[in-house]
Amino acid sequence: MKKAQFILIGGGWRGEFYMRLAQKMPNRFEITAIVTVDPKQQTYYASWGFNCVESLDRALLAGQPDFVVICVPHTVAAKVAVEVLKTGLPVLSETPAGSSLDDLLYLAANMPQNAKYQVAEQYHLRPDMAARLSVIAKGKIGHPQLALVSLTNNYHAIALMRKFLNVSGHETTILAQRFQVTGQPGFERSGLALLERFQVYNQTLATFNFGQGKTGIYNFEDDQHRSFIRSQHIQVKGDRGELNDKDLRYLKDFKTPIISHVQRINKGEYENMEGVGFKGLILAGDWLYQNPYQETVLSDDEIALATCLRQMADYCRGGKAFYSFAQAAQDFYLTLLIEESIETQQAVHTQPQPWTSELLKDYE
């Protein structure tokens, strides 16, 4: 398989995930240049062995990439994306695609026709989420009707919710509230806390009435996905069964309940001498998910991001879209409506947007 070659615009905490993947799997991914105007970043990333330049024009001197990854502050992401797309280069933008509804409308209005643009939403590509989606696709729980996501924040959680329920751009009603809880921080972007400390976090609850008999529940405490003392929870209910975290319950027939558990299979545990790493996820003796990158030790998030990059390369070479502007815009739009519902203390309703018709086409 031809390796994916890309230019990285930006850097920082998230940008370094792309850099580490390129270093860990040089046979699969290559960053041809990093574009940053920050002298400190230029010096630092050059010490990693990357070609650092100040402009896209100079980056292109290193050769024509398959695509450009945009990893800049979300307040300028939409503008940078449009500038790159107008050169004819495909764009993979880090999440979110913008910082406001105005940003989304700007993208919709200014993106060149037939531009190749995707957003690097990775959660549904994580091994555990891909396994759950596989179970749902096989019809084990019947028609999914309710999805509770208490795992990650905002548009990430909504993206999972909509994929679990297979809903698109139909009118949605959202009712949300927020209160405070006290907890202790876990592993932050800055690292582990040096001293014990308590902190007040927002807890946000929101219900999504997607119509068609489908309901989503969002339950998230700030920092829940980084916390050592908070759990994560996924539940998807169908008319014939449910997924509850790692457990699957369904009916073989109307009088025969089946309970199975998803098992994680690793290399290097106990007497296993295959090496070290993650092999995949098994349910009732069948593989739900097999790690395509077993030659490299990666976290689940890194596996998801590597899959995102591979799918972007395939998309640029004529493959199918995997997380389009329309999908990303809808998930961020619904995030904005959570805040509107909290602020107004009322249920809010979606309105048709420039990307709505494209979403509905996906589900015809």
Q: What is the pLDDT of residues 279-318, one digit of tens each?
A: 999 999 999 999 999 999 999 999 999 999 999 999 999 9
DSSP string of 300-320? HHHHHHHHHHHHHHHHHTT--
Q: What are phi and psi of 67, to 5 degrees?
A: -165, 175
Report which of 191, 194, 199 is spatially closest to residue 224, judged by C-alpha positions: 199
Q: Please check whether residue 304 is in contact with residue 122, taking contact to mean a CB–CB distance below 8 angstroms.
A: yes
Which of 228, 262, 291 is at the close of a domain?
291
Q: What are phi and psi of 60, to 5 degrees?
A: -70, -15
Q: Please check whether residue 142 is in contact with residue 240, taking contact to mean a CB–CB distance below 8 angstroms.
A: yes
How far, rounded to the nearest angstrom, does the alpha carbon of residue 231 sit from its chain's CA centroid? 19
Tell me, yes or no, whether 107 and 70 share the same domain.
Answer: yes
Q: What would the two tokens of residue 343 be?
A: 């602020």
Q: What are phi and psi of 203, to 5 degrees?
A: -110, 120
Please give the share of the chain, as a percent, with pLDDT higher than 70.
99
Tell me, yes or no, whether 55 and 28 share the same domain.
Answer: yes
Tell me, yes or no, whether 137 and 22 share the same domain.
Answer: no
Query: Mind listing the pLDDT tens digit for each residue in 175-185?
Result: 999 999 998 88
Query: What letter represents residue 1's amino acid?
Result: M
State the CB neighbour count (10 A cutoff) for residue 189: 8
Tell me, yes or no, whether 64 and 96 share the same domain.
Answer: yes
Give the pLDDT score at 290.
Answer: 98
Q: Is 27 helix (H, G, I), strand (E, B) or coil?
A: coil
Per the structure, the count of domains in the chain is 2
Give the pLDDT score at 362.
Answer: 63
Give the pLDDT score at 224.
Answer: 87
Q: Please check whether residue 87 is in contact with residue 316, taking contact to mean a CB–CB distance below 8 angstroms.
A: no
- CA–CA separation, 104 vs 217, rounded Å? 24
Query: Mind listing the pLDDT tens digit for each residue in 133-181?
Result: 999 999 999 999 999 999 999 999 999 999 999 998 889 999 999 999 9
Report which of 46, 51, 3 is spatially closest to residue 24, judged by C-alpha positions: 3
Q: Which domain holds residue 233?
A: 124-291
Q: Is residue 316 part of a domain?
A: no
The β-bridge relationship of strands 214-221 and 233-238 is unpaired
Tell me, yes or no, whether 155 and 18 share the same domain.
Answer: no
- CA–CA separation, 53 vs 38, rounded Å? 10
- CA–CA separation, 333 vs 152, rounded Å? 17
Residue 223 clears pLDDT 90, i.e. is over it: no
Report which of 80, 115, 111 is spatially closest to residue 98, judged by C-alpha positions: 80
Q: Is residue 362 part of a domain?
A: no
Query: What letter represents residue 78's amino acid?
Result: A
Which of 120, 135, 152 is at the close of a domain?
120
| Torsion, Cα of 127, 130, 132, 138 (10° steps) | -140
Helix ranges, 48-152 (H) = 56-60, 74-85, 101-110, 127-137
Query: Mind listing the pLDDT tens digit for each residue in 63-98?
Result: 899 999 999 999 999 999 999 999 999 999 999 999
What's the mean pLDDT when you consider all of the chain?
A: 95
